[in-house]
């Protein structure tokens, strides 16, 4: 669950000729860049949260707590002390029993109960059903089974980030959102990267008629608006995670192709390329060894823009109601919901937004660090 | 060069033709039709309507009819806005979107390149960090968050500017939407400029210029910025086309009568002609701006030639 | 440089504000900026079908009878009318001072022209069926009968006689719908399909069309020829479409609009706290329900459907998911509807949820379904509230061991999918009444009504009851038959009613004359703006 630039570094390190010293060197220099190292750490942490968070979270991301709809974020445990007795009274009212004074002692609630008929042991379910209480039991049952003491444990839960409009723990939802968003961002960017760099470099390097045709195809695809693709894809194949990242990847490689082509047009006039051509190096060899590595600076800057862009595009889809399917969610979907709730339940916007910002900041600084580290001219 | 431009323009016609063809058949493949509302219509009434709009004809004939009309500049009637033809809708909407988009574009270009160049020249200073930090923040926050926040703060709480609406294009109605559109673009352009400027500062010809002892502003102004602006120009082509053809989010949230909403409204409402019209308009813009980018590239970078 | 341009901007702003204020005081017009749901699909009322279009038509045109601020039927163009004893013939006497906005008198022929045009197949009016009770209307619209045969005849300029196919107790209600409005024959014939353009459109209501900018606003100006113009207090209405409810709320708070036709439910708590005197939540003639695909084997057993219905905690949905902007219901026909008694109710409506869950489990067991054996896909069309509702229902179904899986579908595809017998288990649907009569709700589930009967439920007894009700002219007896039909419906629950809609609006305290009513009709002519 790292990001694309790291993958690049990996593939590069397998190339023996020019590669080894360049990539090794780059890695060394990257390590010296404190901001980049810190960003990498943040990203690793966030990725770990996305991978393992849903497993270790005390609340499943799709668990609904009907009693805690839109509970504000708080470090204190729910239920609040003052809320216990009224909630217990409400639950007891459903049992239609005569009840005495309610007594809260630590995390146990007790009340004496009596009824005209023998007490039905099933009444404890009324208490257990509430999210607030668990393990309800009848103690001190009298011989005639008409009076007794009903006891229940107060079930304390924490929602450090609050709950959403359905009463689900926002922290757990953010964990799963990170997983989905990062996966979409990374996969879509990777797809765009591979497609875009290959295509753009080929077009730019070969030039002439081939370039013309290839860029015309890009123009055509460009002019077909993105949402159009996605709506149709979603309509045909149903909404799925894979579909969304493919749709975003298919749109984003066009930008990449244009930028790489622009760079390539410049690079191919450089002396060393001409030298390689004179030496009879094949086109693909020149592309691989000279053109693509030299476009990497701007490309990496662009990828650091692309991952966030992919995540944001996904959020636009969520905004239009075409995002991932419930109960899954994404950071974009959480933010989109948060934006419409921002005046009543600001925590729904703040925490997902802060998470997304942290991810994107880290991606940016890491990208900058990589760019500085990879710059072949400054060796 | 003129020959090149003319050739490209002539080449644009088949491009647009292909786009129209793809779009026409793609939207027709989607299930649902323009008159599938929550309140379904009587099948017989539906038949009457389909006949009135030629939707009962075979698809290939509808396609030929559409092409015929398109050649005469007629984009057909809108299915969901039946008092207007698609051309009517663009006649009122396009100027609005262009006005908004071009203002945002100019602002983004000026502020973005200035900030980016500044950050690059003072690399690793606090200016750099502030610019990069703010730019990152600008890219991070989706417009559907920025727009309501701006409207809320400046429109509702402060009451300085209208919270929404177009007001016939008066300046005070424009400020918030333009700001919303420009902010992320400033951020992206600043980052692109910064990256490219740093690159350019290290390049041989700038080093040479420095070695010759040319004044700093000449080095920066003439040698560096020209090279640094290339990725920005690349980026601007599609961005300009996108900005000038309107933004769904900004137009929806501020209630602006541009054409940005038509595509989504049309696609979700299966307003075939409106969607097609939008596709044609966007295609024309994209083709034009791509051409402009290529020409600018040639002007800015003498190494690039079009033969 | 920077500060100078900001200053310049501020000066410009000040100037614009100043001149706007000057302009306002010079004319002293009363302007009402009115939020509407969306733009109309057209201003040709024969081609309209939505509530937001109804608001516009009510201001532009006046029918034979109109609804006042309280949605009571009062005389419109007709100053009086007579109904024959058999309920088949309505004779309307038109007022003498009724005028079109160009000064022409409104005649009985204008109504005949309009009623013929809407049934003409060439018009392709989506709502022609509302007026099918008129004699021969259906035959003209669908069978090619000559339009001259329509049961609407101008006896003279000021007398209109309408004959019906069969007695229809809610006929006057129907005439208040936008399909019952007249048209100015001369201008429609002159301009053809361009007649709705500003400048071409001739109307007979309290307002006339000044301009229409899509996605911006529709401007209407007071019609000086209107017979009651002296009592129309507002000079200009600007109808502003708001696809985004939150935008309307912000502009409402900024004082830029005086009313919103809908509200952002997510901000309900905020509005209750800060805009309590403007927030109007009013019961409405509409039902939010869940069709169950009865032709599927696992749902063909009414016990299974009943079990699903039992475990749905409607109070929770209304209060927590919809934030009080919906009313929990155990009936299909909304309360407060005309020509009806109290709607029938599901028998367990008042039972405790836990008892209901026990009963539901027992029913499932009888039907031979054990815990965890049934998985139900819950289909809904994209919207945050639908999504939250289905998520909550999935959780409730979990309480009786049914595995509920929410499944979202994009809007335009959705209804087509339901209608064409798409493969769903349980879906969501909503129905807003066109007129205040239970028939308008119960006809949805008739076996032959393939357009609306999403659950494909076919019950001969039910269909027979509906036919009996249509033939019955005594209102009380008819109400009784319809109630039997609803009771049968609730016994079988092919559709599970869960919520009644409410009409939610924001209305500025300075706007007088916006009276809450179950039809959610608010003609601008009844309103005024206090300072």
Domains in chain A, please, with CATH?
35-66+164-378 (1.10.3720.10), 80-155 (3.30.1360)
What residues of chain B lie within 8 A of the CB of A346, using their CB? none
Burial class (CB within 10 angstroms; exposed 0-12, middle 13-18, buried 19+) of A369: buried
- CB proximity list for B169: less than 8 A, separation 6 or greater: B96, B99
pLDDT at A225: 65
Nearest beta carbon to residue A305 from set B141, B188, B304: B188
User: In order of start, what are the domains of chain C with their CATH numbers?
Assistant: 31-240+508-529 (3.40.190.10), 284-502 (3.10.105.10)
Cβ contact (<8 Å) for A69 and C269? no
What residues of chain C lie within 8 A of the CB of B155, using their CB? 250-251, 254
Would you list the domain boundaries of chain B? 86-300
The string of DSSP codes covering C438-482 is: THHHHGGG-TT-TTT-TT----HHHHHHHHHHHH---HHHHHHHH
Nearest CA-CA distance, residue A33 and chain B, Å: 11
- CB proximity list for A49: less than 8 A, separation 6 or greater: A175, A178
> Which H or E run includes A135?
strand A133-139
Cβ contact (<8 Å) for C266 and A326? no
Percent of chain C with pLDDT over 70: 95
pLDDT digits (tens, 9 = 90+) for B98-122: 999 999 999 999 999 889 888 888 8
Percent of chain B with pLDDT over 70: 91
What residues of chain B lie within 8 A of the CB of A343, using their CB? 152
Show the CA angle centred on residue C356, arms to residues C354 and C361, nearest 5°: 100
pLDDT at C319: 87
pTM over 0.90: no
Stretch 320-359 of chain A: residues touching chain B, C-beta under 8 Å: 320, 332, 335-336, 339, 342-343, 349, 353, 356-357
Which tokens is B83 given?
A: 């008092």
pLDDT at A234: 65
- Give whole-number Cα distances, C426 to A271, A326, B182, C49, C356, in Å: 69, 16, 45, 27, 20
pLDDT digits (tens, 9 = 90+) for A35-46: 888 988 999 999
Pairing of strands A108-114, A98-105: antiparallel
Spatial separation of the C-alpha atoms in residues A324 and C204, rounded to whole Å: 50
Percent of chain C with pLDDT over 90: 62
pLDDT at C236: 95
Spatial separation of the C-alpha atoms in residues C14 and C23, rounded to whole Å: 14
Cβ contact (<8 Å) for C390 and A326? yes
Average pLDDT, chain C: 88
- CB proximity list for C265: less than 8 A, separation 6 or greater: C245, C322, C323, C325, C385, C504
Q: Which residue of A has its CA nearest to C244?
A: A340
Compute the count of residue pairs across chains B and C with CB atoms less than 8 Å apart.
Answer: 145
pLDDT digits (tens, 9 = 90+) for A222-277: 766 666 666 666 656 666 778 778 888 887 888 888 888 888 888 877 888 888 88
- CB proximity list for B133: less than 8 A, separation 6 or greater: A361
Nearest CA-CA distance, residue B96 and chain A, Å: 20
Of A38-47, B193-202, C270-279, minimum mean pLDDT range: B193-202
Interface of A with C (CB under 8 A): 64, 66, 69-70, 94, 125-126, 129, 165-167, 231, 234-235, 239, 320-322, 325-327, 337, 340-341, 343-345
Which tokens is A299 given?
A: 């490309």
pLDDT digits (tens, 9 = 90+) for C190-240: 998 889 999 999 999 999 999 999 989 999 999 999 999 999 999 999 999
Cβ(C217)–Cβ(C151) below 8 Å: no
Spatial separation of the C-alpha atoms in residues C197 and B84, rounded to whole Å: 9
Report the candidate in C359, C367, C266, C305 with the shortest Cα–Cα distance to residue C497. Answer: C305
Paired residues of C430 in beta bridges = C288
Cβ contact (<8 Å) for C408 and A325? yes
Report the candidate in A266, A257, A141 with the shortest Cα–Cα distance to residue A200. Answer: A257
Report the candidate in B269, B249, B251 with the shortest Cα–Cα distance to residue B259. Answer: B251
Cβ contact (<8 Å) for A223 and B31? no
pLDDT at C213: 92
| Superfamily name and number for B86-300 | MetI-like (1.10.3720.10)
Determine phi and psi for B245, rounding to 5 degrees.
Answer: -95, 15
Nearest CA-CA distance, residue B253 and chain A, Å: 11
Q: Which residue of C has its CA nearest to B163?
A: C251
pLDDT at B101: 93
Of A96-100, C133-137, C270-274, minimum mean pLDDT range: A96-100
Please tell me what DSSP assigns to residue A72: P
What residues of chain B lie within 8 A of the CB of A227, using their CB? 263-264, 267
Nearest beta carbon to residue C384 from set A129, A231, A340: A340
Mapped onto helix, strand or coil, the DSSP state of residue C98 is coil
- Give whole-number Cα distances, C91 to A40, A288, C78, C83, C94, in Å: 83, 89, 10, 6, 10
Spatial separation of the C-alpha atoms in residues C288 and C327, rounded to whole Å: 10
- The alpha carbon torsion through B49, B52, B53, B59 (nearest 10 deg) reads 90
pLDDT digits (tens, 9 = 90+) for C419-451: 888 889 999 999 988 888 899 999 999 988 877
What residues of chain C lie within 8 A of the CB of B89, using their CB? 214
Which tokens is B109 given?
A: 């270009």
Q: Go through chain C and tell me how many residues it has.
A: 531
pLDDT at A22: 61
For C47-57, what is the mean pLDDT?
88
Nearest CA-CA distance, residue A166 and chain C, Å: 6
Of the residues A208, A219, A322, the best mutation for testing chain B's interface (the one with the most B CB atoms within 10 Å of its CB) is A219
Q: Is the minimum CB–CB distance between B163 and chain C shorter than 8 Å?
A: yes
Q: Is the minimum CB–CB distance between A265 and chain B shorter than 8 Å?
A: yes
Spatial separation of the C-alpha atoms in residues C240 and C245, rounded to whole Å: 12
Q: Which residue of C has its CA nearest to A127?
A: C354
Cβ contact (<8 Å) for B261 and C244? no
Spatial separation of the C-alpha atoms in residues B245 and B94, rounded to whole Å: 7
What residues of chain A lie within 8 A of the CB of B281, using their CB? none
With cut-offs at 50, 70 and 90, classify the pLDDT of residue C21: very low
Q: Is the minimum CB–CB distance between A10 and chain B shorter than 8 Å?
A: no
Q: Return the higher-pLDDT residue of B84 and A105.
A: B84
Q: Please determine, for residue A8, whether its predicted confidence score (pLDDT) is greater than 50.
A: no
Average pLDDT, chain A: 78
ipTM exceeding 0.90, yes/no: no
Within C280-349, where are the H helices? Answer: 302-310, 314-316
Report the candidate in C189, C462, A211, C45 with the shortest Cα–Cα distance to residue B82. Answer: C45
pLDDT digits (tens, 9 = 90+) for C2-20: 333 434 444 444 444 444 4
Most confident stretch, B191-195, B239-243, C295-299: C295-299
Which tokens is C399 given?
A: 């309480």
> Which H or E run includes C405?
strand C402-409
Neighbours of B133 (CB within 10 A): 14
Spatial separation of the C-alpha atoms in residues C66 and C83, rounded to whole Å: 17
Q: Is the minimum CB–CB distance between C200 and chain B shorter than 8 Å?
A: no
Report the candidate in C81, C305, C303, C56 with the shortest Cα–Cα distance to residue C196. Answer: C56
Cβ(C67)–Cβ(C73) below 8 Å: yes
The tally of CA atoms less than 13 A away on the side-chain side of residue C433 is: 31
The string of DSSP codes covering A80-120 is: PHHHHHHHHHHHHHTTT-EEEEEEEETTEEEEEEE-SSPPP
Cβ(B295)–Cβ(B5) below 8 Å: yes
- CB proximity list for A273: less than 8 A, separation 6 or greater: A267, A286, A290, A291
With cut-offs at 50, 70 and 90, classify the pLDDT of residue B303: low
Q: Is the minimum CB–CB distance between A194 and chain B shorter than 8 Å?
A: no
Q: Please determine, for residue B307, whether its predicted confidence score (pLDDT) is greater than 60.
A: no
pLDDT digits (tens, 9 = 90+) for B58-114: 888 889 988 888 888 888 888 888 889 999 999 999 999 999 999 999 999 999 988
Cβ contact (<8 Å) for A66 and C406? no
Q: Return the higher-pLDDT residue of B120 and B173.
A: B173
Q: Which residue of B has its CA nearest to A353?
A: B141
pLDDT digits (tens, 9 = 90+) for A152-201: 888 788 888 888 888 888 999 999 999 998 888 888 888 888 888 889 88
Q: Please determine, for residue B43, whether its predicted confidence score (pLDDT) is greater than 80.
A: no
Cβ(B232)–Cβ(B196) below 8 Å: yes
Cβ(C233)–Cβ(B135) below 8 Å: no
> Which H or E run includes C506?
strand C495-507
What residues of chain B lie within 8 A of the CB of C417, using their CB? 31
């Amino acid at each position: 669950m790292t990001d694309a630039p790291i993958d690049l570094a990996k593939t590069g390190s397998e190339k023996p000729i020019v590669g080894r010293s360049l990539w090794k060197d780059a890695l060394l220099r990257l390590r010296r860049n404190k901001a980049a190292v810190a960003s990498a750490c943040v990203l690793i942490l966030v990725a770990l949260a996305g991978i393992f968070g849903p497993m270790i979270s005390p609340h499943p991301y799709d668990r609904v707590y009907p009693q805690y709809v839109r509970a504000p974020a708080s470090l204190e445990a729910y239920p609040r002390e003052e809320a216990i007795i009224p909630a217990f009274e409400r639950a007891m009212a459903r049992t239609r029993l005569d009840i005495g004074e309610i007594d809260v002692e630590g995390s146990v609630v007790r009340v004496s109960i009596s009824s005209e008929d023998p007490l039905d042991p099933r009444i404890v379910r009324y208490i257990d059903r509430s999210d607030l209480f668990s393990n309800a039991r009848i103690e001190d049952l009298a011989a005639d089974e008409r009076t007794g003491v009903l006891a229940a444990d107060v079930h304390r839960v924490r929602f450090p980030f609050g709950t959403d409009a359905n009463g689900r723990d926002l922290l757990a939802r953010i964990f799963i959102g990170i997983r989905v968003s990062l996966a979409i961002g990374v996969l879509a960017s990777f797809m765009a990267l591979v497609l875009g760099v290959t295509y753009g470099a080929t077009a730019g390097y070969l030039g002439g008629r081939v370039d013309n045709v290839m860029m015309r195809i890009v123009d055509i695809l460009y002019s077909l608006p993105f949402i159009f693709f996605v709506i149709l894809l979603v309509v045909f194949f149903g909404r799925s995670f894979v579909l969304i990242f493919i749709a975003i990847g298919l749109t984003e490689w066009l930008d990449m192709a244009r930028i790489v082509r622009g760079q390539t047009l410049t690079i191919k006039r450089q002396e060393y390329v001409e030298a390689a051509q004179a030496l009879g190096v094949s086109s693909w060899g020149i592309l691989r060894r000279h053109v693509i590595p030299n476009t990497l600076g701007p490309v990496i800057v662009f990828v650091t823009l692309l991952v966030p862009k992919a995540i944001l595009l996904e959020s636009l889809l969520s905004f239009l109601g075409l995002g991932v399917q419930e109960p899954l969610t994404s950071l974009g979907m959480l933010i989109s919901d948060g934006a419409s709730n921002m005046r009543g339940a600001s925590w729904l916007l703040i925490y997902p937004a802060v998470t997304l910002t942290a991810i994107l900041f880290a991606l940016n600084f890491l990208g900058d660090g990589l760019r500085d580290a990879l710059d072949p001219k400054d060796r | 060069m003129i020959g090149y431009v003319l050739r490209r323009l002539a080449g644009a016609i088949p491009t647009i033709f292909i786009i129209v063809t793809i779009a026409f058949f793609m939207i027709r493949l989607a299930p649902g039709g323009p008159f599938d509302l929550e309140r379904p219509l009587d099948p017989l009434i539906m038949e009457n309507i389909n006949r009135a709009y030629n939707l009962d004809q075979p698809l290939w004939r509808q396609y030929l009819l559409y092409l015929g009309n398109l050649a005469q500049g007629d984009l057909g009637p809108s299915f969901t806005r039946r008092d207007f033809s698609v051309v009517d809708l663009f006649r009122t909407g396009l100027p609005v979107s262009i006005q908004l988009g071009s203002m945002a574009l100019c602002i983004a270009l000026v502020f973005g390149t200035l900030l980016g160049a500044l950050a690059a020249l003072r690399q690793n200073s606090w200016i750099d960090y502030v610019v990069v930090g703010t730019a990152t923040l600008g890219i991070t926050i989706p417009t559907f968050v920025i727009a309501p926040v701006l409207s809320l703060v400046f429109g509702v709480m402060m009451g300085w500017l209208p919270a929404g609406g177009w007001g016939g294009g008066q300046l005070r109605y424009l400020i918030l939407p333009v700001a919303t559109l420009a902010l992320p673009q400033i951020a992206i352009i600043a980052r692109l400029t910064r990256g490219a400027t740093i690159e350019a500062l290290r390049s041989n010809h700038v080093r040479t210029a420095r070695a010759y002892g040319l004044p700093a502003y000449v080095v920066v102004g003439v040698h560096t910025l020209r090279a640094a602006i290339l990725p920005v120009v690349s980026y601007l082509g599609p961005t300009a086309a996108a900005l000038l053809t309107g933004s769904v989010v900004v137009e929806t949230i501020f209630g602006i009568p541009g054409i940005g909403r038509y595509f989504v409204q049309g696609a979700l409402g299966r307003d075939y002609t409106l969607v097609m019209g939008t596709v044609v308009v966007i295609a024309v813009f994209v083709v034009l701006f791509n051409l402009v980018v290529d020409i600018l590239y040639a002007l800015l970078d003498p190494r690039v030639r079009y033969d | 440089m920077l500060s100078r341009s900001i200053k310049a901007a501020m000066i410009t702003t000040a100037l614009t504000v100043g001149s706007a204020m000057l302009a306002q005081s010079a004319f002293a017009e009363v302007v009402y900026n009115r939020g509407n749901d969306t733009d109309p699909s057209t201003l040709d009322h024969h081609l309209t079908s939505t509530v937001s279009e109804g608001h516009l038509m009510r201001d532009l045109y006046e029918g034979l009878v109109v609804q006042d601020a309280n949605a009571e039927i009062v005389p419109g163009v007709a100053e009086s009318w007579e109904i024959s004893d058999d309920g088949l013939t309505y004779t309307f006497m038109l007022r003498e001072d009724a005028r079109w906005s160009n000064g022409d008198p409104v005649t009985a022929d204008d109504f005949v022209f309009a009623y013929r045009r809407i049934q003409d197949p060439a018009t392709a009016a989506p709502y022609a069926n509302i007026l099918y009770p008129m004699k021969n209307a259906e035959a003209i619209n669908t069978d090619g009968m000559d339009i001259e045969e329509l049961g609407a005849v101008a006896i003279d300029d000021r007398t209109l006689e309408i004959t019906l196919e069969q007695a229809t107790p809610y006929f006057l209600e129907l005439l208040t719908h936008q399909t019952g409005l007249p048209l100015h024959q001369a201008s429609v014939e002159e301009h053809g399909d361009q007649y709705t353009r500003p400048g071409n459109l001739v109307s007979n209501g309290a307002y006339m069309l000044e301009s229409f900018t899509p996605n911006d606003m529709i401007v209407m100006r007071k019609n000086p020829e209107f017979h009651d113009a002296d009592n129309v207090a507002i000079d200009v209405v600007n109808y502003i479409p708001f696809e985004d409810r939150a935008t309307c709320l912000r502009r409402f708070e900024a004082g830029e609009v005086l009313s919103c036709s809908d509200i952002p439910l997510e901000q309900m708590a905020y509005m209750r706290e800060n805009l309590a005197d403007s927030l109007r939540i009013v019961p409405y003639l509409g039902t939010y329900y869940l069709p169950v695909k009865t032709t599927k084997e696992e749902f063909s057993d009414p016990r299974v459907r009943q079990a699903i219905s039992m475990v749905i905690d409607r109070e929770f949905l209304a209060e927590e998911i919809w934030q009080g902007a919906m009313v929990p219901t155990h009936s299909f026909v909304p309360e407060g509807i005309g020509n009806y008694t109290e709607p029938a109710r599901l028998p367990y409506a008042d039972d405790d949820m836990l008892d209901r869950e026990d009963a539901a489990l027992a029913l499932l067991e009888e039907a031979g379904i054990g815990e965890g054996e049934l998985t139900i896909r819950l289909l809904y069309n994209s919207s945050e509230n639908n999504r939250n509702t289905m998520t909550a229902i999935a959780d409730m179904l979990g309480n009786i061991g049914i595995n509920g899986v929410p499944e979202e579908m994009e809007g335009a595809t959705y209804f087509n999918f339901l209608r064409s017998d798409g493969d769903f288990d349980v879906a969501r649907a909503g129905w807003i009444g066109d007129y205040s009569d239970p028939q308008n709700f119960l006809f949805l589930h008739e076996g032959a009504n393939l357009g609306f009967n999403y659950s494909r439920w076919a019950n001969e007894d039910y269909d027979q009851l509906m036919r009996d009700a249509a033939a019955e002219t005594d209102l009380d007896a008819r109400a009784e038959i319809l109630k039997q039909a609803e009771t049968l419906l609730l016994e079988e629950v092919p559709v599970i009613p869960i919520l009644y809609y409410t009409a939610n609006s924001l209305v500025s305290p300075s706007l007088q004359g916006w009276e809450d009513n179950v039809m959610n009709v608010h003609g601008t002519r009844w309103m005024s703006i206090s300072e």
